[in-house]
Amino acid sequence: MSRYLISRIGQALVVLWAAFTLSFVLLQALPGDAVLIKFLNPDFGLSQEQIADIRASYGADRSVTAQYLHALGNVLSGDFGYSIQAGVPVRQLLAENLPATLRLACLAFLAAVVLAFAVTLLSTFATFAWLRSAIQVLPSLFISLPVFWLGIMLIQIFSFRLRLVSVINPGPWEALILPVATIAVPISAPLAQILMRNLDAVAHQPFVTVARAKGASRAFAFWRHVLRNALLPTLAIAGVLFGELLAGAVVTETVFGLNGIGALTHKAVGNQDAAVLQAVVLFCAVAFVVITLFVDLASPLLDPRLRSKTGAPA
């Protein structure tokens, strides 16, 4: 087990190192760095020597290899360089904006789980067949909605038509209702799809038939036997979902005018502020790798069948 643990952590570190290297190659080694883009602007009226000085102070004049080693060392010590546009450390920008986005993402994740469960349960237990098939279509609809459009439509309907949620000076929680709903809807779609597929697969397993034959009611067999077995595979997409939450935040924070990592990313791309974008991308990769690692390590604890390779096939 410890051998497995070490090799899994080693793999995760390799992926992270590769992520850093790739983003470095893409964003820093290419010609036309951000320093030049900003300071060659004639408005600054800088001479060639002054630009060379600024480049030296950012370390942009050294060889690519030296820059790479320097940047790698900095990232390892938690230093992501300076935002060229804002002139403050990227680390500070991230720290300032992370809490708001994490709050949005966590609430959206909870809402998505609730929504996915509601859709799945309704598609299983709704009384009429036509209602069940109508609900089964919902995830494919949710996944086809442009997130930014959904946000605008929610503002339109709930703020301007129904006047339920105020958009002018809303309370701190009221301001989160619509953004959370906006991110939650597309996130719930893959969750609901996987849940439905698993429920369907598990419901046809022999042990469910046995449980039913022994007198378990439909509901008891569902809650006690089917759902428990169907839940585990949904953990596998947890890492992907986190990334999607952050991507959803880019769009949602722009639509609703919120501050956070998403709005920061949007601004960084507009200003060609590569250091900020690189830090956000790396943050996503780290989160993905850590969550995936955690899920891989936790799965055997939750499902005894995964503990030994010689056990009964799942």
Partner 1 sequence: MTTPPAVTNAFSGRGSGHLDRLRGASPGLVLAWLVIALVVLWAAAPALFTEYSATVGVPAEKLRPPSPDHLLGTDALGRDLFARIVHGSVHSLSGALVAVAIGLVAGTMLGLVAGSIGGLVDDTLMRIVDVLLAVPALLLSLSIIILTGFGTINAAVAVGAASVAGFARLVRADVIRVRRSEYVEAAFGSGGTYAAVLWRHVLPNSLTSAFAFAALQFGSAILSISTLGFLGYGAPPPTPEWGLLIAEGRNYISSAWWLTAAPGLVVVAVVLSANRISRAVGRSTP
Per CB under 8 A, residues contacting partner 1 are 14-15, 18-19, 22-23, 26-27, 30, 123-125, 129, 132-133, 136, 140-141, 143-149, 152-153, 155-156, 160, 196, 199-200, 203-204, 208, 218, 222, 239-240, 243-244, 246-247, 250-251, 254-255, 265-266, 268-270, 272, 274, 277-278, 280-281, 284-285, 288-289, 292
- Least separation, in Å, of the C-beta of 174 and partner 1? 18
> 128-134 long-range contacts, Cβ below 8 Å, gap at least 24?
none
- Least separation, in Å, of the C-beta of 58 and partner 1? 17
Beta carbon nearer to partner 1, 2 or 242: 242
Residue among 236, 242, 264 nearest 102 (CA): 242
CA dihedral 141, 144, 147, 152 (to 10 degrees): -70
Q: How far is CA 119 from CA 2, 49, 52, 177, 232, in A?
A: 40, 64, 60, 20, 18
23 contacts: CB under 8 Å, gap ≥ 6: 278, 281, 282
- Least separation, in Å, of the C-beta of 230 and partner 1? 11
Structure tokens at 150: 């959904």
With tokens 């509901």, the residue in question is 219
Beta bridge partners of 82: 89
Beta carbon nearer to partner 1, 258 or 280: 280
Q: What angle do CA 224, 228, 231 make, to 5 degrees?
A: 150
Q: How far is CA 257 from CA 18, 102, 253, in A?
A: 34, 16, 5
Beta carbon nearer to partner 1, 1 or 214: 214
- Least separation, in Å, of the C-beta of 133 and partner 1? 7
Q: How far, in Å, CA of 266 to CA of 255, rounded?
A: 11
Residue 215: count of CB within 10 angstroms of its CB: 8
- Least separation, in Å, of the C-beta of 301 and partner 1? 24
Beta carbon nearer to partner 1, 127 or 308: 127
Beta carbon nearer to partner 1, 53 or 200: 200
Beta carbon nearer to partner 1, 113 or 293: 293
- 57 neighbors 72 (Cβ within 8 angstroms): no
Beta carbon nearer to partner 1, 56 or 223: 223
- Least separation, in Å, of the C-beta of 269 and partner 1? 5
- Least separation, in Å, of the C-beta of 153 and partner 1? 7
Looking at residue 32, what DSSP letter applies?
A: S
- Least separation, in Å, of the C-beta of 22 and partner 1? 6
Q: How far, in Å, CA of 45 to CA of 121, rounded?
A: 65
Q: How far, in Å, CA of 240 to CA of 246, rounded?
A: 10
Beta carbon nearer to partner 1, 272 or 299: 272
